[in-house]
Chains A and B, each alone.
Chain A
Amino acid sequence: MATTTTTKSLSTEAARAEMPRKRFKWGMFWQYVALITMSLIALFPIYVMILTSFKTQVNIMSDTPQWVFAPTFDNYNHIFENNFGLFLTNSLIVGITSTVLSLVVSGMAAYAIARLRFPGRGFMAYSTLIIRMVPPAVLAIPIFVLWLNFEIFLYNIIDTTPALYNMEGTDPYAIAEGLVDGRVAMILFYTALNLPFAIWLLVGFLKQIPRELEEAAIVDGASQWQTFTRIIFPLMRPGLAVASIFTFRIAWNEFLLALILSDRNTRTLPVGITLFITEQGVQWGRIMAMGTLIVIPPLLIAFFSARQIIAGMTAGAVKG
């Protein structure tokens, strides 16, 4: 009898504790006020950019901000007529190539660091991290100097080698020009800048994958390379997805190296947008239109892969 009462009272107490309390929670209310305010602050500048991209220059320059207006596509039409396609193509070539290259190369390196024993392994691990800290501004100067001299060097070779400049059917100067193309340089340097982070991320990721599958494959007579391509690489897919978001974002958004390495034909989108800052003033409508188009792919990625982005950012800082 006594037992049942205790059980009963315990269960009602538990039920009461489980029940959502009816009275209004001020703490919760202020929490939401703060969160919504912060969200509005985060969204407002992006919203203003998109809105302004549909305004005429007159509208933009008016003294009072216009929130309701007849949208115009003039800014978009203008940028589409002015090399947007070229900038987009360059950005895609550089972004996709350097991302794919980073993934393959960092996947291989991460496998070696995480799974194989070799002299110098600790050194590799440390130098990878240190290299991650190199500021682009520091690289910009030697890269500009080296790339210019690489060009001079190639032309010198052609000029002093009769076999080359007398070659029939091919234009050696065109080949040299292809080699010193700013996009080749961008792909190389973005890959180099992205590798440390990608390796770092993938090593952490590989350490969570059990070794049994690989060991089984080795026992079955697979070579190290087959194990890597058939077993490890597919298993790394979630980690590669995270890495690819970050490497693509860097390549897509990077401005400084793209600015110094590109010419009229190889400009990427972030460099192209600055062409609308002119001596006569800033063409805000066009800048906002192009800004909107530059920002769309990363924002879409953020919407669909928020989890992966968070995983990438917390890798290293937080031990899971």
Chain B
Amino acid sequence: MLSVARRREARIAYLFLLPALIIFVLGLIVPLWNAFQLSFYDLPMGTPWADREWVGFEQYTRMFADSGVWSSVWVTLRFSFWVLVIEMLLGLALALMLEKPIFGASIFRTIFILPLMVSPVAVGLIWRYLLDGRIGLINYYLESIGEAIPPLQAIGFTSHTWLGEPGLAFFAIIITDIWQWTPFIFIILLAGLQALPSEVVEASYIDGANWWQMTLFVKLPMLRSIILVTILMRLIDVFRALEVIFILTFGGPGRSTEVLSLNIYKTAFTAQAAGYAATISILLLAIMLILSIGLLFISNPLTEGEDN
């Protein structure tokens, strides 16, 4: 039984939460509920809701047998794996380099956050230009180097149709993602490194540990939970994002760069199957939910340090 004062406090709290709740319900809960409903209906895109046709679990069985969906899941997983591994290594290297206050550290830091601020559509367009088979700068320089040093031609220093071949297109979306998102990992790991208790690091220094030992056996173990949270946050973002790939390859050639989000978009707006697209999006939501619960399990800043 709540006391009068506590009940009054709760009532005020709900009033303060009301606007947020209204926006959540209208902007997120209603659409999500609608997507869930839609997953059981056949509805062509752009037709009135009244024309929907109940099909039960038919679209779910169709999805589990759909090789296109599984290919998208596989592309998403491979894509996440490569970008995470490379971005973590690069980001960590950069963070370790800028950890000590060196001359120009703040300039470098500002430069490194610039790619994060560029609109994903612009990122896609810039890289589509750079990777263009005919006028792209990347081909131009590869070719120039290959011509200058002919033996290098054998190991790829020639023109490529970057966005036209499955393997290369996959490589292209990875490179683009690394360019934009390595800075994010760098920023978080840098903050993590700088928040480490200096006594422990100093103690290991006095004990005669060299730089490698200090990094591998002292700093990295202490950063473990931050690294895990960063990986999960990036993983969630990789699963969410599709804009860069939308502009760069639109999933092609074939399905070689079609991540799950893009598969959903194409099913809904190219194949015009709103119901089936909603079914696939339930699969994506389920994957996201597992990832998010993992993230909450490791760290929840909202309930941490609760002492009141």
Interface residues of B in 264-308 (CB under 8 A from A): 264-265, 268-269, 274, 277-278, 281, 284-285, 288-289, 291-293, 295-296, 299-305
Cα distance, A62 to B135, chains bound together (Å): 7
Kindly state whether residue A106 has any CB partner on chain B within 8 Å: yes
Question: Knowing A41-B179, A253-B119, A313-B188 touch, does A200 contact B38 (C-beta < 8 A)?
Answer: no
Q: Which of A137, A143, A284, A316 has the most CB of B within 10 A?
A: A137
Q: How large is the interface on B (under 10, 10 to 19, 20 to 34, 35 or more residues)?
A: 35 or more
Question: Knowing A117-B10, A118-B10, A320-B195 touch, does A105 contact B19 (C-beta < 8 A)?
Answer: yes
Q: Which residue of B lies closest to A138 (CB)?
A: B281
Identify A118's interface contact among B9, B126, B233, B277, CB under 8 A.
B9
Cα distance, A215 to B93, chains bound together (Å): 46
Interface residues of A in 106-140 (CB under 8 A from B): 106, 108-109, 111-113, 116-119, 121-122, 124-126, 128-140
Asked if A256 and B49 sit within 8 Å, CB to CB, the answer is: no
Kindly state whether residue B192 has any CB partner on chain A within 8 Å: yes
Identify B118's interface contact among A35, A46, A60, A116, CB under 8 A.
A46
Q: How far is the CB of A289 from chain B (nearest CB, A)?
A: 11
List, in ascending order, chain B residues with CB within 8 A of A106's CB.
20
Asked if B305 and A49 sit within 8 Å, CB to CB, the answer is: no
Cα distance, A111 to B15, chains bound together (Å): 11
Identify A139's interface contact among B31, B48, B246, B293, CB under 8 A.
B31
Asked if A192 and B23 sit within 8 Å, CB to CB, the answer is: yes
B75-118 interface bits toward A, Cβ cutoff 8 Å, 1 = contact, 0 = none:
00000000000000000011001100010101011111111111
Cα distance, A39 to B186, chains bound together (Å): 13
Q: How far is the CB of A249 from chain B (nearest CB, A)?
A: 7
Question: Knowing A35-B98, A128-B302, A253-B121 touch, does A116 contact B10 (C-beta < 8 A)?
Answer: yes
Asked if A228 and B16 sit within 8 Å, CB to CB, the answer is: yes
Cα distance, A65 to B136, chains bound together (Å): 9
Asked if B264 and A199 sit within 8 Å, CB to CB, the answer is: no
Question: Knowing A35-B108, A139-B32, A306-B110 touch, does A298 contact B27 (C-beta < 8 A)?
Answer: no
Asked if B110 and A125 sit within 8 Å, CB to CB, the answer is: no
Q: How large is the interface on A (under 10, 10 to 19, 20 to 34, 35 or more residues)?
A: 35 or more
Q: How far is the CB of A237 from chain B (nearest CB, A)?
A: 18
Cα distance, A189 to B29, chains bound together (Å): 11
Kindly state whether residue B43 has any CB partner on chain A within 8 Å: yes
Question: Knowing A288-B129, A316-B301 touch, does A108 contact B233 (C-beta < 8 A)?
Answer: no
List, in ascending order, chain A residues with CB within 8 A of B128's CB.
282
Asked if B264 and A138 sit within 8 Å, CB to CB, the answer is: yes
Interface of B is mostly: helix
Asked if A141 and B305 sit within 8 Å, CB to CB, the answer is: no
Kindly state whether residue A26 has any CB partner on chain B within 8 Å: no
List, in ascending order, chain A residues with CB within 8 A of B291's CB.
133
Kindly state whether residue B240 has any CB partner on chain A within 8 Å: yes
Cα distance, A264 to B299, chains bound together (Å): 44
Kindly state whether residue A221 has any CB partner on chain B within 8 Å: no
Q: How far is the CB of B274 from chain A (nearest CB, A)?
A: 6
Cα distance, A288 to B111, chains bound together (Å): 20
Asked if A116 and B16 sit within 8 Å, CB to CB, the answer is: yes
Asked if A295 and B122 sit within 8 Å, CB to CB, the answer is: yes
Question: Knowing A192-B27, A273-B125 touch, does A134 contact B288 (C-beta < 8 A)?
Answer: yes
Kindly state whether residue B230 has any CB partner on chain A within 8 Å: yes
Kindly state whether residue B184 has any CB partner on chain A within 8 Å: yes
Cα distance, A133 to B289, chains bound together (Å): 8
Cα distance, A320 to B6, chains bound together (Å): 31
Identify B108's interface contact among A39, A122, A195, A298, CB under 8 A.
A39
Interface segment out of the listed A81-89, A145-153, A159-167? A145-153
Question: Knowing A124-B17, A256-B242, A295-B122 touch, does A131 contact B28 (C-beta < 8 A)?
Answer: yes
A236-265 interface bits toward B, Cβ cutoff 8 Å, 1 = contact, 0 = none:
000000000000010011011000100000
Asked if A142 and B38 sit within 8 Å, CB to CB, the answer is: yes
List, in ascending order, chain A residues with CB within 8 A of B115's CB.
42, 45-46
Asked if A125 and B289 sit within 8 Å, CB to CB, the answer is: no
Kindly state whether residue A310 has any CB partner on chain B within 8 Å: yes
A30-54 interface bits toward B, Cβ cutoff 8 Å, 1 = contact, 0 = none:
0100110011011101101100100
Cα distance, A64 to B143, chains bound together (Å): 11
Q: How far is the CB of B16 from chain A (nearest CB, A)?
A: 4
Can you pick out 11 interface pairs between chain A and chain B where the beta carbons lie within 8 Å of each other?
A39-B111, A42-B115, A46-B118, A48-B130, A134-B285, A135-B285, A192-B23, A309-B113, A309-B187, A316-B299, A317-B299
Excluding A35-B108, A45-B130, A317-B191, 9 further A-B contacts by CB distance (< 8 Å) are A116-B12, A119-B10, A126-B302, A131-B24, A144-B274, A192-B26, A298-B117, A302-B110, A318-B188
